Structures are given as structure tokens and as C-alpha cells.
Amino acid sequence: MQSEVKPVGAIIASPDSPYPETIKADFPEAQWESTTPYDRTIDFALLVLEADRGISADEISRFHALREAQIPALILITSLITDGDADRWDFDDLTMLANRTLEEVVTPYLVLHDDEGQPSGLYELATNTIIDYSLSHVERRPADEDLRTLTAEFCTEFNEQNFDTSDFVTGLRVVALPYVPERRVGIAETAYFITKLLPIQP
């Protein structure tokens, strides 16, 4: 009989960030380490990028140290609810920051916003699908032609990367995802990648 063993994830975040505890609660699919040196063998790294503060030299160093061993890595981009702060970085800004300071990342989703400019859902580039989190239930529906036109360049760039989930599992590519726990945005999408790392023990 086979039983699932949870992968061990290393959370890299600012010492005063509130997100490590939230991540541990939202993703029971993994066991979590958030301090160094790590007590256990790490199966993947999870770097928290907060839109209201960016990334520190220490976080960059810790990320690179794990990536040198080609450990699979996720980047969760969070603090995306603006609270009226027009100067706060958005998901695209943080993605570009990651590309410059870490390594080129894959972004399978764009963040969609409501009339107030707050995150309300995701746009899945591989399928041109809207994932709407603004309702009482999550709704998936095809994008209309206007939205397809607006996102065409992003879709082309994503498709040209020829990304496959196995690229993440083997540590070849880093995946960046939005994470808005207040609205449940990005939780299912992140859990999907984590579960791909689950080893099966006899």
C-alpha cells in the first residue's frame, strides 16, 4: 500500500513578514521550514515577494543558495491589495524585479482587477480562461474577444517559453504566482504546483 509523504518547503521571507504563518495554514500539502539552517532536506523553495517592500539582499542570497542545488522554486507575489496606495508595485512590477535580481521566471497567470482596482481573479494564459474569485464560488469561463486581444502579447510570450509543469518539478524553471489570501486568489494554483512534488513512498 502506498502513502503520500509531504514535500518539505523552505519559506524565504522578510523576518517581520506575516505571510509565512498564512502560507503554512493555506498550504497543508507541504511541511514548512522558515528558519536557517534547515533541519531537514528541502524539496522546494518558496520566496515571498511583497508589493509594498520588494526584496532584500539576504532574501536574494538565500534564494540563490537553494537554487544552486537546482531545487524547485516558487515565488509568491503578495500584498497586492492597494488600500488606495497608487505607488505600490503590482504583480507585473514584482515579476520584472524577480527577472532582474533572481532569474527569469514563468508566469502562467495574470491578475485581473475589479472596478476598485483590487485583485478579483486570474487570467490563465495557456487556455485564455478567466478564473473569477469575486463571487461566492470560484467561476472559470472563457475570456471574451476583447480580453483575448488585450492579453495576446502576454499569451504569445508565455507560449514561446514552452513551459511544462515538469520544468518546475525538476528545478529547471522558477514559477511566479500571485497570492492574495484575503480573496483566496492564487491558493488553488499554488497548491497545484506543490502537489506535483509529492513523493509516493511504498
pLDDT (tens digit per residue) in 108-153: 999 999 988 889 999 999 999 999 999 888 999 999 999 999 999 9
Give, in order, the Cα–Cα distances in Å from 151 to each of 80, 141, 158: 20, 15, 11
Q: Which residue has the cell 502576454?
A: 154
| Beta-ladder partners of 177 | 76
CATH code of the domain occupying 3-110+162-201: 3.40.50.300
CA distance 135 to 157: 30
pLDDT tens-digit map of 70-114? 899 999 999 888 776 656 788 999 999 999 999 999 999 999 999
Mean of per-residue pLDDT scores for the chain = 89
Per-residue confidence band for 202, with pLDDT thresholds at 50, 70 and 90: very low
User: CB pairs under 8 A, 24+ apart, for 91-99?
Assistant: 91/51, 91/178, 93/51, 94/49, 94/51, 94/54, 94/176, 95/176, 97/49, 97/54, 97/55, 98/49, 98/55, 98/174, 98/176
Confidence at residue 81, expressed as pLDDT on a 0 to 100 scale: 82
Q: What is the pTM of this model?
A: 0.90
Name the residue with cell 497548491: 191
Domain boundaries, the chain: 3-110+162-201
